Structure 1
Amino acid sequence: MSSPDLSQMSMLDLFRQEAESQTQALNAGLLSLEQNPAATDELEACMRAAHSLKGAARIVGLEGGVKIAHVMEDCFVLAQQGKLELRRRQIDVLLTGTDLLNRIANPPDGDEAWAEHAGKREVDSFELALAIAMTGGDEPAPPAARPAAPVVAREAAAVPANSPAQETAAIALTAITAATAGMAALAAPSAAAQTQMDARDIGSRSVRVSADNLDRLLSLSGESLVESRRLKPFSASMLRLKRMQREAGHSLELLQQQLSGLGADDSLQLALADVRAVMAQCQHMLSDQMGELDAFDRRSVNLSQRLYDEALACRMRPFADGTHGLARMVRDVGHELGKSVRLEISGTATQIDRDILARLDAPIGHLLRNAVDHGIEDGAARRAAGKPEQGLIRLKARHSAGMLLIDVSDDGAGIDLERLRQTVVRRKLSNEETVARLSEAELLEFLLLPSFSLRDTVTEISGRGVGLDVVANMLKEVRGTIRISTVAGQGTSFLLQLPLTLSVIRSLLVSIDNEPYAFPLAYVNRTLELRRDQLAVLEGYQHFDFDGRQIGLVSAHQVLQRGALRSQGDAVAVVVIGEHDHTYGLAVDRFLGERMLVVQPLDTRLGKIPNVQAGALMEDGAPVLILDVADMVRSVEKLTSAGQLEAVRDGTRGEAAAGQARKRVLVVDDSLTVRELERKLLTNRGYQVVVAVDGMDGWNAVRTEKFDLVITDIDMPRMDGIELVTLMRRAPNLQSLPVMIVSYKDREEDRQRGLDAGADYYFTKSSFHDESLLQAVVDLIGAA
């Protein structure tokens, strides 16, 4: 269901939404001001954010929010006037105020009364802390992430009662409040009006829609795009009809000439002339209609493409939406560790699928904390190495070759590879000889193992070995990869490669047993065409040379239980999948090219289908299965461990001969899912299967072709299954043809009705199992 639009939200909800965006602006501005206190643009942005929050808080009656935003705004005004320089001490307190504004907008545990009690004390403490910070120097203050009350307690304890500093703080706070009271009173009405106007404006232009609705919209728009392209073959058939009419017109003209030469009477000549005139009129009308059809085809395809593009764009969000708070988090973690660290983010406009963006939050957070803790050195070490005292972490997002690249790098000390080798050996993950032979890339992958850490002690930030494990698991879920690189003394980089969207995948199409299948390109290492003389047998299994090492060759037909290899000529088409010691080559019939496919999740009632990840539709509407590469690797390893791996042979001749004797089954069902499930079950057992989309289609098929068995549903358009069986039993040549009904109808009267019509078996779709259906087929007509 769609969520209500913003115009229907309460004022408090609107304030919370505004507080979220404005505090993000404050965080970003304050972090920039910490680097460059004289940045006038950032000061202006912070002042506007505080001013907007003040007006919005006054509208909803949150006096605490009004007070905080008010004194923060005054602080920014003084900085603009050159009367105050914002340094780390002041920035810390202002960041604490930003956090407090967030807590006022979203009180702990939803307790609305919090602002009147504990919140009021924190507001008063913050006002005093800010006044003290505005009169103090640049001594380091406690981390801004801490609650405001302890900060103020420490600040107040450091200032003796009745001291000059205490009096200055009080005077400053009083002066600030008094000096701007009149300005606030004048600004409040305009701020209130602006907030209400913004709310109405936003509500009229946007609506909050659930993720499931967007997924369904994208799926339907993808199907619409496929359907719009079906007019092409229809248009081609109309062209053939036009040529046939033209040929018929020429034949009539020749006939009229011959009859004229034979002296035929005038009435016959006039009749032929009338027929030719009608034929010419038909041709003219057909030409006009074909022109309209072509125009409609172009408009339909264009409109469907635009609809699909817009639906896909609804799922995409800028990378900036996932980076809020990261710079603040890096700064606060650095301060907690006694380090000065800055985060630089680029590629914020890069568009990313919203599902992937949501999953990136935790992994990027782990990588950034890891960079601050493990990568960036302390100030003394950096000065000794000739580096700036402030460490730099870069977060970049960009598109490349149809993939999303996220790069997290730091200018720290890099990873100590020798220490990493010692840790691997000490934790008994490998022996010294093997570790010594590992390449740098292979060695760095140990960092991704669960519970692996180079730290011997556990702190609040690191040492448990959880962070990089979280990153690796997320990448597996979204079909992504990670590459780690490091340079001693210069830093470390983590490069994440992910698909642009989970809804559309770039795929390699292959043919396996005359059926198209799709490999997600992100999981394909390489495609090869190997000559038979390039295959070798080692320890009973076929291998081939791949990048200097021997890789096992497996028939994709055996993994999917789909017929035998139909290679073209002397070459074998191979798809290389897997990684490291689990790399294999899958032999397929041939390559069909690359496609962008709209992912269609399979019906949950089917459960997990081995080696299959999802489905999709081709441009002509034909279904195609998207393979689960990780599952296929596991299937290969099971076959290998069980000693059941078969050699890849050319089965073209044998299959051609067997195809002549295979028994034919007609499957009649209007459900694409059920139809394809039954077809694949029967085909995997060697039967030759023909499908029909409804009863009328099935009736036309049995009248024109020879079948050994008919499997039909009951509820179908144009002609139901009972009518089909009844017609077959009335036809003398079809009376003995076995018929099986497979239907969702499970009442006894429905079963009896089907059997009375002449069916030999009656199965319910909710109860039959693969083997029971296949056994019934064998009972009726024998093996394939």
Structure 2
Amino acid sequence: MTPDQMRDASLLELYRMEADAQAQVLDSGLLVLEREPNHAGQLEACMRAAHSLKGAARIVGLEDGVKVAHAMEDLLVAAQEGLLRLVPEQIDGLLQGTDLLRRVGAQVVADAPSAERVEQLVSLLQQQLAAAVPALGLAVSASADEPAAQGTQMPALEASAEPVEEPLDDGRGRVLRVSSERLDHLLDMSGKALVEFQRIQPLADSLQRFKRQQSSLRRTLDTLRDVTLGSSLEPQALALLEESRAQLNECQQLLQEHFEAFDTFAWEGGLRSRSLYDAALSSRMRPLADVLVGRARMVRDLGRSLGKQVRLDIEGEATQVDRDVLERLDAPLTHLLRNAVDHGIEPPELRVRRGKEQEGRLLLRARHRAGMLVLELSDDGAGVDVERLREVVVTRKFASAETAARLSEDELLAFLFLPGFSLRDQVTEVSGRGVGLDAVQHELRQLRGSVSLTHRRGEGSTFILQVPLTLSVVRSLVVEVAGEAYAFPLAHIEQMLRVSAEDVVQLEGRQHFWHGDRHVSLIAASQLLQRPEGRTEEAGIPLVLIRERDNLYGIAVERFVGERTLVVMPLDARLGKVRDVAAGALLDDGSPVLILDVEDLFSSISKLLGSGHLERVDRRSQGAQEATRKRVLVVDDSLTVRELERKLLLSRGYDVAVAVDGMDGWNALRDEHFDLLITDIDMPRMDGIELVTLLRRDSRLRTLPVMVVSYKDREEDRRRGLDAGADYYLAKASFHDEALLDAVQVLIGEAQG
């Protein structure tokens, strides 16, 4: 809290803040003391927290708070002095006292505890103390009526021993209140700035080409001057030629200076825009502990209500997550924790018979992995009774007895995520309402995440949750459909692959292909998205596999563009809900892309399959069907080398095209389809390194295999070629026929596709 906020806040507001902070200390400390009653550090921390709250309540005139805190403090002091050993019943009373201390300063009068409830709890705590230490209990009862003036010397806002610390008053720890709308706007603007700045790269590429063109023009003028020397060309024409060369030299020098300045600006500006976005993004991040406050207490109390002993251990609670993701994780985590206590952990007597400790244990682990937050919630309970689950599936007519008998364990576990499915026959306060794991799965999918379940019979179960660290950016697979870009969030993709037209079969009016041990339905993305039918010239049908519970679908697209991190841009609210689309974004070159709503896609797929009017996905253009030979582009400024490589490749059945330099090769690559590029390094207009670099930056060509064949055979030359993006480097000094042909076969296989 800042000094200005401290000055403007009322005493009652300060008490509420103090109560929240100290109650967290008491909750966590008392849960430790239930397992380790003699833990000196926690006894001290809890006693000081109760002592601080007693003083704070007295300062603001909350006599009910004074009574409760005083009774709690007496019990804790007795435990601290070794006069009693805290037992679960006393921990129950102290935790109830913690709850009352939170409520005595409630903003709404109706939320405050009644005087009768306060007296009951104070009496309970005093009776527990008197029962454990009779003499001390009588003394404490008498001291409860001491004048309030004795307590006024206690500091009202004394900090607890360990968890709560006052920030240093040097300005570094100041906290400013900023509305979430402003933070969202800042992140949106910084994200757009980052994407917009990335559009500077095409301009840099254009300037580089302009620079090469000037160099080419300079060589042409030099050649022209050499040709005209000693000729009968008029002096005036020679003077104009020299003047042109001089002006070109001046232009080249000026361009070089501007290009160096532009290159520096692009580098530094890119770093700054990325830093700005990262800083804006980090301002939205909060530790996972913020959503876990009170969860250990909830698990303990729920276990007690069910006659079980359960504790929750947490690893990685400092893991940073976007606040929006954090808030939406609250409900799924709460449900899974309650589910683990109710369904997973056995009663103490049963655990003892099975050779386990009486106290059950839940472990929540949190970590970052590949831009995702991974949460693993494990319990050491009984696991899932698979045979009981199989019986319930049949009883509730989710499957026939014959089908259920053939289901694997993973397939059976998938039923637990179906709407309305429960293993409980009766509705209780904790379970059996029919809004179970399907609600958890639905919420996580809304977050572009996933949930899975594994179990060990008799040893426990583990739920694995994966969600993005932030909803502001999304890692996606960008594809092309009808010439336009669409993005599938990676969290929803099972796999991406290609299948040949020969592998597609027709079953019951639908197209399928065999994947693993099952048939997968094929759907054309163009039909799903209501776009014109596209055609692909590439070998095989590009497919994106997505899964809905136990259903797997193959979405046929025209082309894989590649994996991208996209800054999410919400659609205009006036558009309403656009079917199958979640948001928009911009690619690196500034072109727009629509991020697909995979949950919505499942609904569209279901309707499309139900209609029976499915378009074929294995139709390719006649040209593509005829182009069975693999094509190779050879780029070399040496006629001899070019022809040698061309004839070798033709002799093996490859279709070969040639280019005289890098620029000629780049134009050919953009106009035609090739399966392999073979290029030299030293060439006029555009060398091989520049050609490979341009190719790897192009979304359509970045996956094309590249072989470099060069006279340069030093290790640094080889490394330079491979670093630029080449897949294979062959030195001409050691060049022979079979070496080239073997390398080509390794890269793209036999000539006949």
Interval of TM-score (by shorter of Structure 1 and Structure 2): 0.7 to 0.9
- Quote the residue 1:21 is aligned against: 21
Could you give the per-residue CA deviations for residues 751-772 of structure 1, whole angstroms, max 9, x where no partner exists? xxxxxxxxxxxxxxxxxxxxxx
- Per the TM alignment, residue 504 of structure 1 is displaced from its structure 2 partner at its CA by 1.7
- Per the TM alignment, residue 125 of structure 1 is displaced from its structure 2 partner at its CA by 4.2
- Per the TM alignment, residue 61 of structure 1 is displaced from its structure 2 partner at its CA by 4.3
Could you give the per-residue CA deviations for residues 639-679 of structure 1, whole angstroms, max 9, x where no partner exists? 333232122244445999xxxxxxxxxxxxxxxxxxxxxxx
- Quote the residue 1:96 is aligned against: 96
Deviates most, 120-129 or 480-489: 120-129
CA contact (8 A) 2:483 2:534 kept: no
- Per the TM alignment, residue 55 of structure 1 is displaced from its structure 2 partner at its CA by 4.9
Matched, 1:614 2:583: yes
Could you give the per-residue CA deviations for residues 87-143 of structure 1, whole angstroms, max 9, x where no partner exists? 323322211111011102325xx128x86xx65554444443323222324xxxxxx
- Per the TM alignment, residue 224 of structure 1 is displaced from its structure 2 partner at its CA by 0.7
- Per the TM alignment, residue 34 of structure 1 is displaced from its structure 2 partner at its CA by 0.9
Say how many residue pairs are matched.
619
One-letter amino acid of the counterpart of residue 490, structure 1: E
- Quote the residue 2:209 is aligned against: 240
- Per the TM alignment, residue 329 of structure 1 is displaced from its structure 2 partner at its CA by 1.1
- Quote the residue 2:361 is aligned against: 392
CA contact (8 A) 1:6 1:203 kept: no
- Per the TM alignment, residue 229 of structure 1 is displaced from its structure 2 partner at its CA by 1.7
One-letter amino acid of the counterpart of residue 82, structure 1: G
- Per the TM alignment, residue 488 of structure 1 is displaced from its structure 2 partner at its CA by 2.9
CA–CA distance in structure 2, aligned partners of residues 324 and 283 of structure 1: 65
Deviates most, 275-284 or 554-563: 275-284
CA–CA distance in structure 1, aligned partners of residues 279 and 266 of structure 2: 20
- Quote the residue 1:444 is aligned against: 413
Segments of structure 2 that go 5 or more residues without pairing to the other structure are 626-753
- Quote the residue 1:369 is aligned against: 338
Cα–Cα, structure 1 residues 48 and 282, in superposed 2: closer, same or farther, change >3 Å?
A: farther
Could you give the per-residue CA deviations for residues 172-220 of structure 1, whole angstroms, max 9, x where no partner exists? 233478699867615448779xx99769889972223333333322221
CA–CA distance in structure 2, aligned partners of residues 230 and 10 of structure 1: 52
Cα–Cα, structure 1 residues 461 and 550, in superposed 2: closer, same or farther, change >3 Å?
A: closer
Deviates most, 386-395 or 483-492: 483-492
- Quote the residue 1:337 is aligned against: 306
One-letter amino acid of the counterpart of residue 18, structure 1: E
Structure 2 residue corresponding to 1:588, chosen from 537, 542, 557: 557
Structure 1 residue corresponding to 2:126, chosen from 117, 124, 131: 131
Structure 1 residue corresponding to 2:427, chosen from 445, 450, 458: 458
- Per the TM alignment, residue 223 of structure 1 is displaced from its structure 2 partner at its CA by 0.9
SS of 2:532's equivalent? coil
Cα–Cα, structure 1 residues 127 and 301, in superposed 2: closer, same or farther, change >3 Å?
A: same
- Quote the residue 2:544 is aligned against: 575
Structure 1 residue corresponding to 2:195, chosen from 226, 230, 243: 226
Cα–Cα, structure 1 residues 177 and 188, in superposed 2: closer, same or farther, change >3 Å?
A: farther
CA contact (8 A) 1:74 1:176 kept: no
- Per the TM alignment, residue 246 of structure 1 is displaced from its structure 2 partner at its CA by 4.8
- Per the TM alignment, residue 227 of structure 1 is displaced from its structure 2 partner at its CA by 1.4
CA contact (8 A) 2:509 2:612 kept: no
CA–CA distance in structure 2, aligned partners of residues 599 and 583 of structure 1: 27
- Per the TM alignment, residue 555 of structure 1 is displaced from its structure 2 partner at its CA by 1.9
How many percent of aligned residue pairs carry the same amino acid?
48
- Quote the residue 1:185 is aligned against: 153
- Quote the residue 2:297 is aligned against: 328
Aligned positions of 1:95-244 closer than 5 A: 95-107=95-107, 110-111=108-109, 119-137=114-132, 169-175=137-143, 185-188=153-156, 205-244=174-213
- Quote the residue 2:12 is aligned against: 12
Matched, 1:40 2:9: no
CA contact (8 A) 2:445 2:599 kept: no
CA contact (8 A) 1:5 1:208 kept: no
CA contact (8 A) 1:104 1:119 kept: no
More helix by share: 1
SS of 2:329's equivalent? helix
One-letter amino acid of the counterpart of residue 39, structure 1: H
Could you give the per-residue CA deviations for residues 225-264 of structure 1, whole angstroms, max 9, x where no partner exists? 1112222222233333444445556666777788886799
One-letter amino acid of the counterpart of residue 42, structure 1: Q
- Per the TM alignment, residue 21 of structure 1 is displaced from its structure 2 partner at its CA by 2.6
CA contact (8 A) 1:506 1:521 kept: yes
CA contact (8 A) 2:56 2:155 kept: no
One-letter amino acid of the counterpart of residue 356, structure 2: K
Deviates most, 561-570 or 611-620: 561-570
CA–CA distance in structure 1, aligned partners of residues 212 and 519 of structure 2: 58
CA–CA distance in structure 1, aligned partners of residues 491 and 562 of structure 2: 15
Could you give the per-residue CA deviations for residues 428-484 of structure 1, whole angstroms, max 9, x where no partner exists? 333222222222222233333334333333332223233434323322322333222
- Quote the residue 1:521 is aligned against: 490
CA–CA distance in structure 2, aligned partners of residues 548 and 611 of structure 1: 29
Cα–Cα, structure 1 residues 545 and 248, in superposed 2: closer, same or farther, change >3 Å?
A: closer
CA contact (8 A) 1:127 1:173 kept: no
Could you give the per-residue CA deviations for residues 395-454 of structure 1, whole angstroms, max 9, x where no partner exists? 222333443332222222233333323333333333222222222222233333334333
Deviates most, 262-271 or 298-307: 262-271
TM-score where L is the length of structure 2: 0.74
- Quote the residue 1:732 is aligned against: none
CA contact (8 A) 1:55 1:191 kept: no
CA–CA distance in structure 2, aligned partners of residues 585 and 26 of structure 1: 54
Deviates most, 495-504 or 266-275: 266-275
Cα–Cα, structure 1 residues 58 and 433, in superposed 2: closer, same or farther, change >3 Å?
A: same
Deviates most, 202-211 or 427-436: 202-211
Deviates most, 403-412 or 242-251: 242-251
- Quote the residue 2:503 is aligned against: 534
One-letter amino acid of the counterpart of residue 428, structure 2: T
- Quote the residue 1:485 is aligned against: 454
Could you give the per-residue CA deviations for residues 579-638 of structure 1, whole angstroms, max 9, x where no partner exists? 366422122222122111122111122222232221111112111111222333333333
Cα–Cα, structure 1 residues 254 and 369, in superposed 2: closer, same or farther, change >3 Å?
A: closer
Cα–Cα, structure 1 residues 290 and 569, in superposed 2: closer, same or farther, change >3 Å?
A: closer
- Per the TM alignment, residue 337 of structure 1 is displaced from its structure 2 partner at its CA by 1.8
Deviates most, 442-451 or 388-397: 442-451
Cα–Cα, structure 1 residues 318 and 557, in superposed 2: closer, same or farther, change >3 Å?
A: same
SS of 1:525's equivalent? strand
Matched, 1:476 2:474: no
Cα–Cα, structure 1 residues 539 and 459, in superposed 2: closer, same or farther, change >3 Å?
A: closer
CA–CA distance in structure 2, aligned partners of residues 25 and 396 of structure 1: 22
- Per the TM alignment, residue 301 of structure 1 is displaced from its structure 2 partner at its CA by 0.7
Matched, 1:306 2:275: yes
CA–CA distance in structure 2, aligned partners of residues 10 and 269 of structure 1: 91
- Quote the residue 1:639 is aligned against: 608
Cα–Cα, structure 1 residues 257 and 372, in superposed 2: closer, same or farther, change >3 Å?
A: closer
CA contact (8 A) 2:384 2:455 kept: yes
Cα–Cα, structure 1 residues 633 and 653, in superposed 2: closer, same or farther, change >3 Å?
A: farther
- Quote the residue 2:81 is aligned against: 81
Cα–Cα, structure 1 residues 490 and 252, in superposed 2: closer, same or farther, change >3 Å?
A: closer
Cα–Cα, structure 1 residues 573 and 448, in superposed 2: closer, same or farther, change >3 Å?
A: closer
CA contact (8 A) 1:128 1:169 kept: no
- Quote the residue 1:713 is aligned against: none
Structure 2 residue corresponding to 1:551, chosen from 507, 520, 523: 520
- Quote the residue 1:403 is aligned against: 372
Cα–Cα, structure 1 residues 89 and 632, in superposed 2: closer, same or farther, change >3 Å?
A: closer
- Per the TM alignment, residue 343 of structure 1 is displaced from its structure 2 partner at its CA by 1.5
SS of 1:330's equivalent? helix
Could you give the per-residue CA deviations for residues 725-757 of structure 1, whole angstroms, max 9, x where no partner exists? xxxxxxxxxxxxxxxxxxxxxxxxxxxxxxxxx
TM-score where L is the length of structure 1: 0.71
CA–CA distance in structure 2, aligned partners of residues 441 and 189 of structure 1: 55
SS of 2:283's equivalent? helix
CA contact (8 A) 1:410 1:491 kept: yes
- Per the TM alignment, residue 270 of structure 1 is displaced from its structure 2 partner at its CA by 7.8
